[in-house]
């Protein structure tokens, strides 16, 4: 680190960002997690003006007039709309700085990305963050950040396995000596589970549900195993036959059936990663278990399904939703010590 970097770092609000498909979380050095908002931007389709970002934009999903569109600029963990992502990043960075924006040095920013991102996608994230106000940008693979956030022994010569089920992607990784030995990225995650519930309701009840309704029902009664005490909840949507509003009651067994395909895909990928792992590391994983992170890990019975399928104990991380952003925060505390864990910069961009 240069002398100027050391000087600026004393005063800048260095920031860690979990740039998720569903939610963006922001960690500020010395303050902890300060932002947890949906990755949603509301635009005026006629003028391309940004009307709202985050929670306020999320409230508009499915409820706006035709000329206002609420979009998610990230799909499957990567940028699908560069300009809107840049504006969203700028909004979150400026929200962190607030009144001190013009007085403080630009922050260094660590961003977690799926391990399968291409060079083009990495370049897009770097440039978006730099244009949004970063002094320097460091990228880290999400499973590595999640493992660091869960305080797993990633530096040691020990096999560590983590499964991070986010909104757009499921990240599976085996880590040893500060590097990822085996990794799998699936586009099967929380968003697809919501779509599974929408499709199930359409096929079995002739009712059309909204995306937010599906997510809420997943959180309230979602399960992938049979429960000792059954759960049920009312679900409201549009009757596909009459076109009129309709309310039905769904239970956890129906959600289990709806999520079966997605769960099978995730479990198969975990088993495939285990099959590709060197025997010495497998021994460590059997001893220490599989760590589950991300919002998908909160679905009832997820640990039991993974344990049963792999014959390895699976444990839910403490506060799994924030594992990645907490990992970026730990990285920020000592960037020099974790250089080998960061993704190489696509190009050395200097702000003038």
Q: Residues 271-310: pLDDT tens digits?
A: 999 999 999 999 999 999 999 999 999 999 999 999 999 9
Q: Is the pTM of this model over 0.85?
A: yes
- Determine the pLDDT at residue 106: 83
Domain parsing of the chain, residue ranges: 3-145+323-343, 156-188+265-318, 190-258
- According to the model, what pLDDT value does residue 65 have? 79
Buried b (16+ CB within 10 A) or exposed e, 64-98: beeebebbbbbbbbbbbbeebbbbbbbbbbeebbe
pLDDT at 83 over 90: no
156-188+265-318 classified as CATH 3.30.420.40: yes
Q: Do domains 3-145+323-343 and 190-258 have the same CATH topology?
A: no
Q: Which residues share a beta bridge with 342?
A: 140
Residue 155 makes CB contacts below 8 A (sequence gap 6+) with 177, 178
Q: Sign of the CA dihedral 49, 52, 57, 62?
A: negative
Lowest mean pLDDT among 5-14, 16-25, 153-162, 212-221: 5-14
Which of residues 36 and 72 earns the better pLDDT score? 36
CATH superfamily of 190-258: ATPase, substrate binding domain, subdomain 4 (3.90.640.10)
Domain spanning 3-145+323-343: which superfamily?
A: ATPase, nucleotide binding domain (3.30.420.40)
């Amino acid at each position: 680190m240069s002398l100027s970097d050391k000087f600026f770092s004393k005063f800048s609000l260095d920031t860690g960002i979990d740039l998720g498909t569903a939610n963006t979380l922001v960690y500020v050095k010395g303050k902890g997690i300060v932002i947890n908002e949906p990755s949603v931007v509301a635009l005026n389709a006629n003028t391309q003006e940004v009307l709202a970002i985050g929670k306020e934009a999320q409230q508009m999903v499915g409820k706006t007039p035709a000329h206002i569109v609420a979009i998610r600029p990230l799909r499957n963990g990567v940028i699908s709309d560069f300009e809107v992502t840049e504006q969203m990043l700028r909004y979150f960075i400026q929200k962190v700085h607030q009144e001190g924006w013009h007085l403080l040095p630009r922050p260094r920013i660590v961003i977690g990305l799926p391990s399968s991102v291409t060079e083009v996608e990495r370049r897009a994230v770097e440039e978006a963050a730099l244009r949004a106000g970063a002094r320097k940008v460091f990228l880290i693979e999400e499973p590595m950040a999640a493992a660091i956030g869960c305080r797993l022994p990633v530096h040691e010569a020990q096999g560590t396995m983590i499964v991070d089920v986010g909104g757009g992607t499921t990240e599976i990784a085996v880590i040893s000596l500060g590097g990822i030995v085996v990794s799998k990225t699936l586009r099967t995650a929380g968003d697809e589970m919501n779509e599974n519930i929408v499709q199930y309701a359409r096929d079995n009840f002739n009712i059309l549900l909204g995306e937010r309704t599906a997510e809420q029902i997943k959180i309230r009664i979602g399960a992938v195993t049979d429960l000792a005490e059954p759960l049920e909840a009312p679900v409201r949507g549009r009757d596909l036959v009459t076109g009129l509003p309709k309310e039905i009651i769904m239970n956890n067994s129906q959600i289990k059936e709806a999520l079966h395909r997605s769960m099978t895909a995730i479990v198969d990928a975990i088993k495939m990663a285990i099959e590709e792992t060197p025997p010495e590391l497998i021994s460590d994983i059997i001893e220490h278990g599989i760590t589950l992170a991300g919002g998908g890990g909160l679905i009832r019975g997820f640990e039991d399904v993974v344990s049963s399928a792999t014959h390895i104990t699976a444990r839910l991380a403490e506060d799994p939703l924030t594992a990645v952003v907490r990992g970026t925060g730990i990285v920020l505390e000592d960037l020099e010590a974790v250089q080998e864990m960061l993704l190489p910069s696509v190009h050395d961009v200097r702000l003038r």
